[in-house]
A and B are shown apart, each in its own frame.
Chain A
Amino acid sequence: MHHSIEIKNLTFSYPDGTTALHDVSLSIEPGEKVALVGPNGAGKSTLILHLNGILSGQGFVRVCSLEVIKENLGRIRSCVGLVFQSPEDQLFSPTVFDDVAFGPLYQGLHPAEVLQRVDQALEAVHMLSYKKRVSHHLSMGEKKRIAIATVLSMHPEVLVLDEPTGLLDPRSRRSLIHLLQELPLTMLVSTHDMLLVREIFPRMIVLDEGRVVADGPTQVVMNDTALLEAHGLERP
C-alpha cells in the first residue's frame, strides 16, 4: 500500500550526544491530516527535518514513495513542502515574488510556468495582491501565509508545518485554520495549539522525549487526560 510518509525505527542523536529521536515509527496515508504534538524539546522539529533529509538518523524514512537517501533528496525536497516555524527564516528574498518563485526557479522550470505557479500559490493563500511587496514589512500573519505559498509553488504532495499558529493574533489564526482546511494535501503539523488540533486534525501523534507515546484518533487521545498531563499537554 502506498503511504505518503512512512517512518520505521528512526533513531537520531545530535553530535553532542543528546538522543532526540528514539525508535520512532509511524505512517501517514495520502490525503491524511495529522497533528504532531508534544512538549518543547520532545523532538518534533527534529522529526520534521528528517522528512526531507536535512537531518538523517538510523532507520527507514520513505516520503511520497521515495526512500529518503542522498540520491532522492532533490525529488523529495520538491515533494515535501516544509514550512519552518519562523517565517523570518523561510522568507529570505527581497520580495514576496522572489521568495515564492525560488522553488520553481531552482527546479529549472520554464519562466511562464514559474509565473503561473507563483500566482497559483499566492491565490491559494489569498495573498495575490502582495506579489510585489517586500516580505520584510509584512505582518506576522501575512508572513505565515507567504511562507506557506513558498512551498505550495513547488506543488508538493505533503505539507509539513512547524508551529503554524504560534505568534498569531486570533484573526490571523482563524484565517490560517481556514486555509489549512482548504488545502487538499497530506499534512503533518507540529503544534502546541490543542484547539487547532481538535478542529482540523482527525488524527494526532504525541511525541515526548523522542518517542511516540500515543498515536490515534484525536477524539480518543484528547479524552485521555492522564496521558496528556503525563506528557506536559493540556486538554482544551
Chain B
Amino acid sequence: MHVHFLDPYRSRNSPIHRLNPRIKLVLTVVFILTNTLIPTGAWPVYILLFALIFSVELISELGISFVLKRSSLAIPFVLAALPLILTVPGKTLFILPVGSWTIHASYPGLERFISIAIKSWLSIQAAIVLAASTSFPELLVAMRALRVPRLLVSIFGLMWRYLFVLVDEATRLMRARLARSGQSEIPGAKTGGSILWRARVVGGMAGNLFLRAFERSDRIYMAMVSRGYDGEARTLPLPGIRPAHWVLLIAGLSLLGLLLGFAYLFWG
C-alpha cells in the first residue's frame, strides 16, 4: 500500500496540461509576482486577475471545486496578516477595550488585510493549477531549463522521491503501534496509558523516523556515488518550445504587465 494522496498532479488532456512546463512555470511565477506588487485596494484589478485565473481553471478541466477546496491552504498564511487590522494607523473602525488597554482597529488596516487575503488566495490558485497540471518531474526539468541552480533542483527531486517513502514508513510505524494497542483481560485496567507516556512514544517514533531518514540518505548517496555521481546532475538536452507557446508566453506576460501598470496608474 502506497501513499498517492500527496501527489497533487491530476492527469487530464487539457490545453493547460499540454502547455510547455517552462512556460507554465514562468507564467505562474510572474502571475504571483504581479499579485504581490498590485497596490492595496485596487479592487477592479483583483477582479480582473480573478477572472484570468478562473478562466485558466476552467480550461484546465481540473474542476473548480477541486481548485477551490485546495485553495483553503492559504487560510493559515492569511491569518498571519490579521494583526494588520489593529496596527495600521488611520480612521478608527472600532475600539476594543481589553482591561486597561484599548485596541484600535482601523479602516486602512482592514483594507490592507482584505487585499492581502485576496492576493494570497489568487496566488495559491495559480500554484495549485500549476502543480495539478504539471507532473513533478516535468516541473523539475522546467526549473533546470530556467537555470534554477542544479543542486537545488536535485534536492527538490530527491525530496519528492523520498517524501513518499517516508510517509509509507511512518504509516507502517503507526500500524505496528496500532497492532500492539490492546486491551487487558483484567477488568478495570485503564487502557492507553497516560498522555505523557503516549507523547514519549510518539517522540520515540519521530526520532526513529529521523534516524532512518538520515541513514537512508547516506545509503542513497553511496548508491549514487557508486554509479558515478560527482555532485553534478546531468540530463538529456531539452526539447524546444513550440512557436504557439512562445506567443502565449508573450501574450500572458504583456497582459500581466498591463494589469500591473493599470493598477499603479490609478491606485499606486
Chain A residues with a Cβ under 8 A of chain B: 14, 49, 52, 54, 74-80, 82, 84, 86, 88-94, 98, 102-103, 105-109, 136, 150-151, 154
Per the bound structure, the CA–CA distance linking A94 and B211 in Å amounts to 11
Q: With an 8 A cutoff between CB atoms, is B205 at the interface?
A: yes
**Of all chain A residues, which has the CB nearest B174?**
A92
Do B212 and A88 have beta carbons less than 8 Å apart? yes
Among B177, B184, B201, which residue has its beta carbon within 8 angstroms of that of A108?
Answer: B184
Interface residues of B in 144-192 (CB under 8 A from A): 169, 172-173, 175-186, 189-192
Complex A-B: 5 CB contacts under 8 Å: A78-B183, A82-B180, A92-B204, A105-B193, A107-B183
Per the bound structure, the CA–CA distance linking A92 and B176 in Å amounts to 8
Q: A74-B182, A77-B180 are in contact. Are A89 and B169 (CB under 8 A)?
A: yes
Per the bound structure, the CA–CA distance linking A93 and B193 in Å amounts to 15
Kindly state the interface size class of chain B when it binds its partner.
20 to 34
Per the bound structure, the CA–CA distance linking A14 and B2 in Å amounts to 11
Q: A105-B197, A108-B191 are in contact. Are A78 and B177 (CB under 8 A)?
A: no
Do A106 and B181 have beta carbons less than 8 Å apart? yes
Among B1, B177, B190, B192, which residue has its beta carbon within 8 angstroms of that of A92?
Answer: B177
Which residues of A are found within 8 Å of B172, using beta-carbon distances? 84, 86, 89
Per the bound structure, the CA–CA distance linking A151 and B177 in Å amounts to 11
Chain B residues with a Cβ under 8 A of chain A: 1, 169, 172-173, 175-186, 189-193, 197, 201, 204-205, 207-208, 211-212
Q: What's the minimum C-beta distance from A71 to chain B, rounded to whole angstroms?
A: 11
Which residues of A are found within 8 Å of B169, using beta-carbon distances? 88-89
Q: What's the minimum C-beta distance from A169 to chain B, rounded to whole angstroms?
A: 19
Per the bound structure, the CA–CA distance linking A94 and B208 in Å amounts to 7
Among A49, A54, A77, A88, which residue has its beta carbon within 8 angstroms of that of B183?
Answer: A77
Which residues of A are found within 8 Å of B175, using beta-carbon distances? 49, 54, 84, 89
- Apart from A75-B185, A77-B179, A92-B204, list 9 A-B contacts with CB within 8 A: A76-B182, A78-B182, A79-B182, A92-B176, A92-B205, A93-B205, A103-B181, A107-B189, A150-B180
Per the bound structure, the CA–CA distance linking A137 and B63 in Å amounts to 50
Do A102 and B182 have beta carbons less than 8 Å apart? no
Which residues of B are found within 8 Å of A93, using beta-carbon distances? 201, 204-205, 208
Per the bound structure, the CA–CA distance linking A90 and B180 in Å amounts to 9
Do A54 and B179 have beta carbons less than 8 Å apart? yes
Do B204 and A108 have beta carbons less than 8 Å apart? no
Q: What's the minimum C-beta distance from A27 to chain B, rounded to whole angstroms?
A: 22
**Of all chain A residues, which has the CB nearest B209?**
A92
Which residues of B are found within 8 Å of A76, using beta-carbon distances? 182
Q: What's the minimum C-beta distance from A77 to chain B, rounded to whole angstroms?
A: 4
Q: What's the minimum C-beta distance from A76 to chain B, rounded to whole angstroms?
A: 7
Q: What's the minimum C-beta distance from A231 to chain B, rounded to whole angstroms?
A: 23
Which residues of B are found within 8 Å of A154, using beta-carbon distances? 180, 182
Q: What's the minimum C-beta distance from B125 to chain A, rounded to whole angstroms?
A: 28
Most chain A CB within a 10 A radius of its CB, from B176, B186, B193, B204: B176
Among B179, B192, B204, B211, which residue has its beta carbon within 8 angstroms of that of A98?
Answer: B204
Q: What's the minimum C-beta distance from A233 to chain B, rounded to whole angstroms?
A: 24
Q: Which 5 A-B pairs have the closest CB atoms?
A: A78-B182, A74-B183, A77-B182, A107-B184, A108-B189
Which residues of B are found within 8 Å of A14, using beta-carbon distances? 1
Per the bound structure, the CA–CA distance linking A63 and B193 in Å amounts to 25
Q: A14-B1, A84-B172, A92-B173 are in contact. Are A108 and B182 (CB under 8 A)?
A: no
Do B182 and A107 have beta carbons less than 8 Å apart? yes
Most chain B CB within a 10 A radius of its CB, from A52, A103, A106: A106
Among A77, A79, A92, which residue has its beta carbon within 8 angstroms of that of B208?
Answer: A92
Do B186 and A103 have beta carbons less than 8 Å apart? no
**Of all chain B residues, which has the CB nearest A106?**
B181
Which residues of A are found within 8 Å of B173, using beta-carbon distances? 89, 92
Most chain B CB within a 10 A radius of its CB, from A74, A79, A103, A107: A107
Which residues of A are found within 8 Å of B205, using beta-carbon distances? 92-93
Per the bound structure, the CA–CA distance linking A52 and B180 in Å amounts to 10
Per the bound structure, the CA–CA distance linking A106 and B177 in Å amounts to 10
Per the bound structure, the CA–CA distance linking A19 and B88 in Å amounts to 60
Do B190 and A108 have beta carbons less than 8 Å apart? yes
Per the bound structure, the CA–CA distance linking A183 and B100 in Å amounts to 72
Which residues of B are found within 8 Å of A77, using beta-carbon distances? 178-183
